[in-house]
């Protein structure tokens, strides 16, 4: 079975074709359409950009595969709400519900729906499966999933911590267990997916038991342009006093905060690290990012009752040795000791902790496209 994985981000659309069988999965080719839209563009313009990119990718894939053809398409969808806790065959009803959930993931779900619609339009008879970023976290126990609001109110309004980056966390944890040469049972690991969007996940026995993102992808770590954790009372105060409107506040929290807001110059860690020696504000933003990650790792080590290993993934997690070192130095009390030699230029996946480190530290690429294809193939062959 040839499965085409489509992975839509907030400004890019990655794709990869896989040859799937009971004996394994092999990548055939991959690519990306990036900088598809700006954050200031109207939503209908963004949707059109993703629809056009999807059509181009499908045409390109058909040509590259000839004389073979695409047998199925697997698409990443960021928010699955309460209904979608496992891969789902795409129908018009599913597309409508994905679009309805855009209020919970405003940067992603509308774009995800546009990709699904384009695929259905071009290949209406082709099996298409939606794979949800929130699905991996549906195992969160109630004490981790629920906010301290009246239970009836939460149930009525479907309020809970859904978590995100589940496809990435699941992929990285699977590779981590392989690197540790053990199965998931009996393990306590933490995965740190650090990029423009960033989250941390506590995983016990291969199952997500807590994660830093919540009802929306805005909660948790400091991110490229997202603020992460913030006092709800501050939001109420700003709205009550009429300081800002709801649309203005949403734009501020999602697009003008995080590393960009703290540094005043960029949301890109590479640019901040280059500027930090002569720019105190850039250095401050870097330190704040590292502190927030270390804070969550420490908290999740407590949630897990100990820690066997930690893994870094994502654009920052995979490529910034300085950030990994900065985070791990704050976690020495947990038994995480980094080998600076191994940390500097690792061939991924790589162990970067010292041989005598009680807790292993790894850098592992998040193979989201592969995970999407794996889940799609598994769903279609066992449905």
Predicted TM-score of the model (pTM):
0.93
Whole-number pLDDT of residue 40? 67
Give pLDDT tens digits along the chain (383 positions): 999 999 988 778 999 999 999 999 999 999 999 888 776 677 778 888 899 999 999 999 999 999 999 999 999 999 999 999 999 999 999 999 999 988 888 778 888 999 999 999 999 999 999 999 999 999 999 999 999 999 999 999 999 999 999 999 999 999 999 999 999 999 999 999 999 999 999 999 999 999 999 999 999 999 999 999 999 999 999 999 888 999 999 999 999 999 999 999 999 999 999 999 999 999 999 999 999 999 999 999 999 999 999 999 999 999 999 999 999 999 999 999 999 999 997 789 999 999 999 999 999 999 999 999 999 999 999 86
State the burial class of residue 67 (Cβ atoms within 10 Å of its Cβ: 0-12, 13-18, 19+): exposed
Predicted pLDDT of residue 12: 84
Q: Which of 236, 244, 216, 240 is nearest to 228 (CA)?
A: 216
Inter-residue contact 249 to 283 (CB < 8 Å): no
Interstrand relation of 188-194 and 72-77 (parallel, antiparallel or unpaired): unpaired
Active site residue 133: yes
| Per-residue confidence (pLDDT) for residue 1, from 0 to 100 | 96
Task: Return the pLDDT at 46.
Answer: 83
pLDDT of residue 35: 81
* Tokens matching residue 265: 């110059």
CA distance 243 to 139: 39
pLDDT at 104: 82
pLDDT at position 72: 97
The pLDDT value given to residue 241 = 82
CA 64, 68, 70, 72 torsion-angle sign? negative
Residue with tokens 């990012």: 289
How would CATH label the architecture of 166-363?
Answer: 2-Layer Sandwich (3.30)
Task: Determine contact, residues 9/30, Cβ cutoff 8 Å.
Answer: no
Give the model's pLDDT for residue 107. 72
Within this chain, domains 2-132 and 166-363 share the same CATH topology:
yes
Quote the CA–CA distance of 126 and 281 in Å, as a whole number. 51
Q: Which of 161, 169, 101, 107 is nearest to 130 (CA)?
A: 101
The active-site residue, picked from 133, 231, 287, 308, is 133
CB neighbours of residue 8 within 10 Å: 26
Under 8 Å CB-to-CB from 134, ≥6 apart: which residues?
78, 79, 80, 81, 84, 85, 162, 163, 164, 166
State the fold for domain 2-132: Nucleotidyltransferase; domain 5 (3.30.420)
Q: Which residue in 175, 253, 174 sits closest to 220, CA to CA?
A: 253
Q: Which phi-psi region, left, alpha or beta, contains residue 304 (left: φ > 0; alpha: ψ -120 to 50)?
A: alpha
pLDDT at 39: 65
Would you kindly state where each structural domain of the chain is located, as residue ranges? 2-132, 166-363
């Amino acid at each position: 079975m040839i499965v085409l994985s489509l992975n839509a981000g907030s400004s890019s659309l990655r794709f990869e074709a896989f040859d799937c069988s009971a004996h394994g999965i092999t990548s055939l080719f991959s690519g990306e359409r990036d900088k598809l839209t700006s954050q200031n563009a109207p939503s209908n313009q963004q949707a059109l950009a993703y629809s056009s990119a999807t059509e181009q990718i499908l045409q390109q894939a058909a040509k590259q595969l000839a004389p073979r053809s695409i047998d199925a398409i697997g698409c990443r969808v960021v928010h699955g709400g309460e209904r979608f806790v496992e891969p789902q065959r795409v129908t018009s009803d599913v597309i409508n519900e994905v679009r309805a959930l855009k209020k919970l993931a405003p940067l992603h779900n509308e774009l995800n729906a546009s990709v699904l619609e384009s695929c259905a339009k071009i290949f209406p008879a082709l099996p298409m499966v939606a794979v949800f970023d929130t699905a991996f976290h549906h195992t969160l126990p109630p004490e981790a999933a629920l906010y301290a609001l009246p239970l009836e109110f939460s149930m009525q309004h479907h309020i809970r911590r859904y978590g995100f980056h589940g496809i990435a966390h699941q992929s990285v944890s699977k590779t981590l267990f392989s690197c540790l040469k053990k199965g998931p049972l009996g393990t306590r690991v933490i995965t740190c997916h650090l990029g423009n969007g960033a989250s941390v996940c506590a995983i016990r026995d291969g199952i997500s038991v807590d994660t830093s993102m919540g009802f929306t992808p805005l909660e948790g770590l400091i991110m490229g342009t997202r603020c992460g954790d913030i006092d709800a009372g501050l939001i109420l105060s700003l709205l009550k006093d009429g300081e800002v409107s709801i649309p203005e506040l949403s734009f501020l929290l999602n697009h003008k905060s995080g590393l960009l807001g703290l540094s005043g110059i960029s949301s890109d860690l590479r640019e901040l690290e280059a500027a930090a020696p002569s720019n105190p504000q850039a250095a401050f933003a870097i330190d704040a990012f590292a502190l927030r990650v270390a804070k969550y790792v420490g908290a999740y080590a407590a949630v897990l009752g100990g820690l066997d290993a930690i893994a870094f993934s994502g654009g920052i997690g995979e490529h910034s040795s300085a950030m990994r070192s900065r985070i791990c130095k704050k976690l020495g009390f947990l038994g995480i000791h980094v080998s600076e030699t191994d940390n500097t230029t690792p061939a991924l996946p790589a162990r970067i902790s010292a041989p005598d480190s009680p807790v292993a530290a790894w850098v592992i690429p998040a193979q989201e496209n592969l995970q999407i294809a794996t889940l799609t193939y598994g769903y279609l062959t066992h449905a």
